[in-house]
Amino acid sequence: MLLLLLAFALLTPDAAWPTYGFDLANTRHTEINQIDVTNVSRLRVAWRYQDRAAGEMESSPVVVDGTLYVTTSEHDSVVALDAATGAKRWEYMPTLTPFSYCCAKANRGVAVADGSVFVATLDGRLLALNAATGELRWHAQVGDPRGGFSETMAPLVWNGLVFIGSSGGDFGIRGSFSAYDASSGHLRWRWWTTNPGWEGAYVTSVHGYPLHRDIAREKADAIRYRDAWRTGGGAVWMTPALDPKRRMIYLSTGNPAPVHNAATRPGDNLYTNSIVALDAEHGTMRWYYQETPHDVWDYDAASPPFLFDVRHADGRTRAAVGEAGKTGWLYVVDRDSGALVRISENLVPQREMYAVRSGGVAQPGVGGGAIGPASYDPRRHLAFVVAIDRPDELAPEPVDSRPMNRPWRAGRVTALSHSQNYICAIDIDTGKVKWRRHLSGGPGERFNLGFISGSLSAGGLVFVGEPNGVLFALDAGSGAVLWRYEIGRDDAPTVQNDLTFTQKLRAFARSIYVRLFDLPEGPPTYARIDGPPVSYVVNGKQYIALCADVFAGGVERNEVLAFALP
């Protein structure tokens, strides 16, 4: 058996994970199959890397030429590791200016091309680093962090252009998407999410569901609030997909601002909550599909778009874009026109969609539906979407002046239950849910949080991490769990002594808090997973790698883990 495995490894060519979504189509699917349904149960930790940073680590590793590049949460640093051993090759830690953030100090990763590593920072900058040394080559200020603008998106590189979006929609920024020259950092073009005329056509329904809007009131208020687009939100905070043949880039946009009370932003609020197609070379808009006009539920088009060919019953195919929304549907639209092909069956329970406007229970709630990146298996025509069932009680509040350095939501949200976390397989040709697997959630869970992570499709398997620190491998055809690994349960990471003052202070504060309120200590080691897994091959061996935030010995640390067959 050992000789057979060695021979198989020698015949397996090295394979990279070259960009955030694996390919420009954002499918997060690789044909690497050294690890498959027959042997996945034998997966073991091959190496692990611990960083001094802490916090929600949403980074998706990128692997190019045997080097794994990853970003940390707390410091926005870029770390280059040997992809076969986890040994650190270099680290670049930017000096951040003051910034504001809505939900977490997240950084979703890098882009790599032509010897450069591109990364965006929480203080609104785009940086280019030398891929071999980590030395800074250039930086560009994309937006003003003093107004709530930040960057959390992993950039995308194509044809000498670096594409970057915008975070901070909840602060009332004006959302944008930009292209920079990869060699110099000069701005080539910028497309704005919100513009004059964002009121649109005042639609009364969307994909067959009434929106329960007071159109007469909105039209009467339109002149009074004609400048609302200037602070209208619509951030672009997930990595887009790109079609080189069509030279078009497809992005998803976030919610309008302020989100929970729409009184001061009459109209459809174009182009928030939308799938948008732009000319990748010039930034002109080709089409848009708005999933939720005049949103008051925080229904971002959050999950990254991905590209595929949808097959009709008569065998004809049609180029399409898929996007899994916080509404709990997978949207499939025509890649050339933006016309809706279909919406899927609901991935999570839905309660009177779009009916709740002046307070009440929304399901999915603010933290529900789909957020993390989906993966797509082109052989099975299945999309694998991480989905969250969490109803929220919404309580709109009067719209005050836009605040500085804090979110502008005009409402309160109360979670009514613990999140229930699922992975769903959707047949993109029919919209039917082929299988759904409950992975975690409910009373007794450590974290009352839903998926941020995402899925990976490889070797007839679906890999997905969930918030309570468990990595799963499921059969792509049936959803059966074939392997699971609980980070920290079997081999707690060693806590080194090079702790920062902040980490020491956190550990001390946590111990005081536990004693003061007589709380249970909890397990000595536990983790949460917010970053999606990836797969690659180095020296003939396939690895599955992902990021986690690990708590061990009272200390919290970002960690990268790689798994392989023994």
Bigger pLDDT: 457 vs 106? 457
- Is residue 390 predicted with pLDDT exceeding 70? yes
pLDDT category of residue 493 using cuts at 50, 70 and 90 = very low
Of 114, 26, 104, whose CA–CA distance to 71 is shortest? 104
Averaged pLDDT, 458-480: 95
* 243: number of Cβ within 10 Å: 18
Averaged pLDDT, 489-493: 51
pLDDT in tens, 79-108: 999 999 999 999 999 999 888 877 778 899
Write down the pLDDT at residue 350.
Answer: 96
- Is residue 491 predicted with pLDDT exceeding 70? no
DSSP string, 226-291: TTGGGG-B--B-S--EEETTTTEEEEE---BSS-S--TTS-S--TTTTEEEEEETTT--EEEEEES
| H or E element at residue 508 | helix 501-516
- Is residue 187 predicted with pLDDT exceeding 70? yes
| H or E element at residue 386 | strand 382-389
Task: For the chain, give the longest Cα–Cα distance.
Answer: 77
- 340-344, 425-429, 552-556: segment of lowest average pLDDT: 552-556
Break the chain into its structural domains and give their ranges: 1-88+452-566
* 513: number of Cβ within 10 Å: 10
Are β-strands 29-30 and 455-458 bridged in parallel, bridged antiparallel, or unpaired?
parallel
Q: Is 174 helix (H, G, I), strand (E, B) or coil?
A: strand
Averaged pLDDT, 159-169: 97
CA distances from 511 to 173, 292, 460, 504, 506 (A): 39, 45, 44, 11, 9
Q: 4-18, 234-248, 412-426: which has the highest mean pLDDT?
A: 234-248
Write down the pLDDT at residue 519.
Answer: 45
- Is residue 497 predicted with pLDDT exceeding 50? no
**Bridge partners of 10?**
none
Lookup: tokens for 357: 């406007």
d(CA 533, CA 464): 7
Q: Do residues 524 and 78 touch, judged by C-beta distance below 8 A?
A: no
- Is residue 26 predicted with pLDDT exceeding 80? yes
Q: Do residues 90 and 80 touch, judged by C-beta distance below 8 A?
A: yes
Averaged pLDDT, 210-227: 97
Locate tokens 């619509």: which residue?
234
Averaged pLDDT, 547-562: 89
pLDDT in tens, 304-331: 999 999 998 788 999 999 999 999 999 9
d(CA 58, CA 267): 34
- Is residue 483 predicted with pLDDT exceeding 90? yes
Percent of the chain with pLDDT over 70: 90
